[in-house]
Amino acid sequence: MEQTTQQPARKKRILSCIQPSGIPTLGNYLGALKNWKTLADDFDGAFAVADLHAITVRQDPAKFRQQITSVLALLLAIGLDPEKSILFIQSHVPAHSQLAWVLNCYTQFGEMSRMTQFKDKSQSHADNVNVGLFAYPVLMAADILLYQADLVPVGADQKQHLEIARDIAQRFNTLYSPTFTVPEPYIGKQGARVMSLQDPMKKMSKSDPNPKSFISVFDAPEVIVKKIRSAVTDSEGAVRYADGKDGINNLMGIYSCCTGLDYAQIEAEFQGKGYGDFKAAVAEAVVEELRPVRERYERYVNDKAYLRDVAAQGAERASRIADRTLQKVMKKVGFVLP
């Protein structure tokens, strides 16, 4: 109200990244990507393919290359507009690696050792507990801080990393002078946490060895129907949301995200009907939800020239912002600028 004069209030900047490690699942889509589109309309958005993060686990070069392009095409397919938001590939903006090194020197070994994702991943990749895996949250902090992001949409598994990014920003600001915006987590409206179709106590994951446990955003309609039909439920036979009905709760959550109906409305719709009918409806809703994404994706992924343009334009816009922040940092630390 008080800002009657001066510049119009700047739109808040929101930044998020997705790793190009495998085809995203319905869980990634409903839990994160679908919201990016809405956020991009309300905020000043920057969205990146976090390829540098992906090499903390071993990648097959040919597959990796293809996945990076594929995820960029997916960002377009979910409806992000490269004219409006900044869409880029992390490694195309060298400032990420550069700032990450500097911030490594402002992050304590003890802090990183406490990261639960590091502890988990060093167990699941026990043969390759590399230093990059350890320092991964610092690179993520660099991603965020370079763009002076106000808001970062994060799932539960990334909250601790965002917390560290805030600590690093505050520490640097206090040691020198205000340099970084301290980012806030952005918690979406419906905390869509999609669970495995085969073990609804576990989060849906693309790395699950059982492909029936997850739906990939590019699964064909008949595959989606089959997977949902074989989803684990319970023996009660009533479509209602309740403790102990994890399978049904999960399907209700998915259905709710796709249709916008709340649980009471869903219960009313399936009153007196069995799980067969309900599963058919869920499958139909998921198929229709993903259909436009898959169709647009197929168009974009084959248009290599367009993808190259999008990436080049995105990298240029991203670099302009990132380089400004990096320069400030280098200067404050005392480097001699080139």
Q: Which residues bind ligand TRP (CB under 6 A)?
A: 15-17, 19, 50, 53, 140, 143-144, 152, 158
**Nearest distance in Å: CB 149, ligand TRP:** 8
Q: Which residue out of 37, 159, 202, 203 is catalytically annotated? A: 203
53 vs 294, beta carbon nearer ligand TRP: 53
CB of 19 to ligand TRP, least distance (A): 5
Burial level of 337, CB count in 10 A (0-12/13-18/19+)?
exposed
Active-site residue (options: 121, 227, 245, 279): 121
Nearest residue (CB) to ligand TRP, 56 versus 250: 56
Given the complex with ligand TRP, which of 206 and 245 has the nearer CB atom?
Answer: 206
What the block records as the tokens of 232 is 């684990």
Say whether 304 is catalytic: no
Q: Is 274 helix (H, G, I), strand (E, B) or coil?
A: coil
Using alpha carbons, select from 236, 268, 272 the residue that is nearest to residue 255.
268
121 is a catalytic site residue: yes
Residue nearest to ligand TRP (CB): 17
Nearest-10 Cα torsion for 230, 236, 239, 243: -100
Shortest distance, position 222 Cβ to ligand TRP, whole Å: 30
| Residue 28 half-sphere exposure toward CB, CA atoms < 13 A | 22
Give 183 or 200: the residue with its C-beta nearer to ligand TRP. 183
**What letter does residue 196 receive in the DSSP assignment?**
P
Amino acid identity of 34? K
Task: Tell me the CB-side half-sphere exposure of residue 194, using CA atoms within 13 A.
Answer: 27
Q: Exactly one of 206, 227, 245, 279 is catalytic; which is it?
A: 206
Active-site annotation holds for 226: no
Catalytic residues: 121, 203, 206
